[in-house]
Chain A
Amino acid sequence: MIVYLLLVLFAATFLVLIVKRDEIAIIAILFSFFSMCYMFMNPEIMVFGFGGWSPPFGIVWVLDKLNVFLALLVTGISSVIAVYSLKYIKERRHRYYTLLCLITIGLLGVSLTGDIFNLYVFFEILSVSSYALVAFFLNEHAIEGAFKYLMVGSMTSLFILIGIAMLYGLTGTLNFADLASKISHDPPYMVALGLLVAGFSLKATIVPFHAWKPDAIEGTPAPIGAIFTSVSTAIGVYGILRILFIFNLIQINWVLILFGAITMLLGALMALVQVNVKRMLAYSGVSQIGYVIMVIGFGTLLGITSGLYHILNNALIKTLLFMGIGIGIYLTGKENLNEMGMKNTPLLICVGIGLLSLSGIPPLNGFVSKWLIFMASWEISPMLTAIAIIASALTLAYSFKIFSAMFLANRKIEAKVPKILLIPVIILTALCVFIGVFPQAGLNMIEPAVNALLNQNQYITAVFGG
């Protein structure tokens, strides 16, 4: 059944180029979102072997609760961005939609697969189409950002390949469930673990590996910046989680806690001094992923729940903010914070709610996940809670800087926002408020995912027994 979904997306990739109509791509991505909603309703783990081959011999895609949660998030954000880009991108739009379909195929493949080399192949599909989309506007900023991202990104993808080669040489298998039953904690396995985590943490923009992100997002169009900070980082964190799941090492881990804390503070501090609004939001994305990595390092149930909830909220808020400032860039044509004053009431409300949610103000969704993060870090060490609160205060500072530059400036232009750019922003704002007022709705999606992550035996029996 999953084969048909992939075939629809693949066919849409080429049909957009031949027939030259963009709506095909939007229909295909929306179709993938609705089929992921349909798969989400199914309460048991589904295993698909490609070509009819059974698990240790063939490639298998496993849909347990964590995979389906991420696939739902990924296709939802992709479909919103696809609708938004109809008006935002003005020239060479067919190439843009081809690459957007390819990114969706890559993201969907990484979230749903159950085979480690298949993970690498789809990760490379995602990476290569990301490099092409960074260089989409063919100006000098885009070229510089694309070349930097290409050099660093391909080197760390090759680190993932070395890790896969070592794991294959040590165990003789490539399947997640088979690896999980054959891995021990000897030193050669730990080297492979280190290489794999280093490879995925480039996509997840953890501190020593975050340097490509501001330059790449400054060169790329705003909707693709939204995909990079919301969904690409979520897939990077999912890669780290899945590798730790295979090694059965989801426990307290001071390396992740240390790097998470440094990422939080560094991202927030660097975001304060920026002048370009897209760079500021890129550093803000780095800072939020620092929160997630720190609480994953705790390894407790509350820690991982708050981490996954913060991934969901970060995706919604960052997409909302990038689309909002994208409207600002579309209307004023400038990206500098000193020149972006506008006067438009629906946009003020939506971006205002997005920035309040980013800082963690009560009736919105950012508050829910940040409160859970503070509670999770209080159990381990009060100093980590203090660091998290300081980072939140810095977040509030630069959020207010963006808000005052966009809406409280001296020179404002009054312009009409096209409806098709404003509807996705309103949908995401409504989702933010809804999850903030009814946090149980988010927890209903995340608790099965956390239980699937902490329960290795259920995964192994589902893949081999069924």
Chain B
Amino acid sequence: MDVIIRNVTKGLLPFIIVFGVYILLHGHLTPGGSFPGGVIIASGVALLAISFGLRKAERLVKEETAHVVEGIVALFLVLVVLFESFARDMLTPTGMAFGLWSAQHVLLLNVVGGVMVSMALILIVFLLMKE
């Protein structure tokens, strides 16, 4: 696409992904969590796909990788929920301000859900752009 958009994307993409990971990890302290974090990461990759074309974006995340990772992470989500239903008494999900490790399984669920959402949205963007 345009020269301006390409240069801006080249400079801005790592910050978008770091911002998405930040919103993912602090889901139990600030508004956000798995879904908005995943959407921001996926929209960074979508920006790359729109400005540089599909082949350059495929060098970052391949389509088959996204399929496989999404399936495996979904099964991992099943395991996390099973683990939480058995070990509910041992975990304390109350978060204290600025404490990243205060709510254990909420953090784990945020990371797992965020990976799943971002892979699903990357797949949707790639499949809609293919022709």
Closest chain B residue to A6 by CB distance? B81
Contacts A3-B85, A52-B88 known; A17 to B78 CB distance under 8 Å? no
Q: How far is the CB of B65 from chain A (nearest CB, A)?
A: 13
Q: Could you tell me if A14 and B74 are in contact, using CB atoms closer than 8 angstroms?
A: yes
User: What mask results when residues 45 to 62 of chain A are scored 1 for a CB within 8 Å of chain B, else 0?
Assistant: 000000110000000000
CA distance A51 to B85 in the complex (A): 7
Q: Could you tell me if B75 and A14 are in contact, using CB atoms closer than 8 angstroms?
A: yes
Cβ–Cβ < 8 Å partners of A17 in chain B:
67, 71
Q: How far is the CB of B124 from chain A (nearest CB, A)?
A: 13
Cβ–Cβ < 8 Å partners of A7 in chain B:
78, 81-82
Q: Could you tell me if B71 and A14 are in contact, using CB atoms closer than 8 angstroms?
A: yes
Q: Which of B36-87 contact A (CB under 8 A)?
A: 67-68, 70-72, 74-75, 78, 81-82, 84-85
Closest chain A residue to B68 by CB distance? A18
Q: Which of A7, A13, A14, A52 has the most CB of B within 10 A?
A: A14
Q: Which of B84-108 contact A (CB under 8 A)?
A: 84-85, 88
Contacts A3-B85, A52-B88 known; A11 to B78 CB distance under 8 Å? yes
CA distance A17 to B84 in the complex (A): 26
Q: Which of A1-51 contact B (CB under 8 A)?
A: 3-4, 7, 10-11, 13-15, 17-18, 51
Interface size class of chain B, counting residues whose CB lies under 8 Å from the partner chain: 10 to 19
Closest chain B residue to A19 by CB distance? B71
CA distance A59 to B78 in the complex (A): 19
Q: How far is the CB of B110 from chain A (nearest CB, A)?
A: 16
Cβ–Cβ < 8 Å partners of A15 in chain B:
71, 75
Q: How far is the CB of B76 from chain A (nearest CB, A)?
A: 10
Q: Could you tell me if A10 and B78 are in contact, using CB atoms closer than 8 angstroms?
A: yes
Cβ–Cβ < 8 Å partners of B82 in chain A:
4, 7
CA distance A13 to B71 in the complex (A): 9
Q: How far is the CB of A354 from chain B (nearest CB, A)?
A: 39
CA distance A7 to B74 in the complex (A): 10
CA distance A52 to B89 in the complex (A): 10
Q: Which of A412-443 contact B (CB under 8 A)?
A: none
| Other-chain residue from B72, B81, B84, B88 in contact with A18 (beta carbon distance below 8 A) | B72
Contacts from A to B (Cβ < 8 Å):
3-4, 7, 10-11, 13-15, 17-18, 51-52
Given contacts A15-B75, A17-B67, 17 further A-B contacts (CB under 8 A): A3-B85, A4-B82, A7-B81, A7-B82, A10-B78, A11-B74, A11-B75, A11-B78, A13-B74, A14-B70, A14-B71, A14-B74, A15-B71, A17-B71, A18-B71, A18-B75, A51-B84
19 A–B pairs (Cβ distance < 8 Å), ordered by A: A3-B81, A3-B85, A4-B82, A7-B81, A10-B74, A10-B78, A11-B75, A11-B78, A13-B74, A14-B71, A14-B74, A14-B75, A15-B71, A15-B75, A17-B67, A17-B71, A18-B71, A18-B72, A18-B75
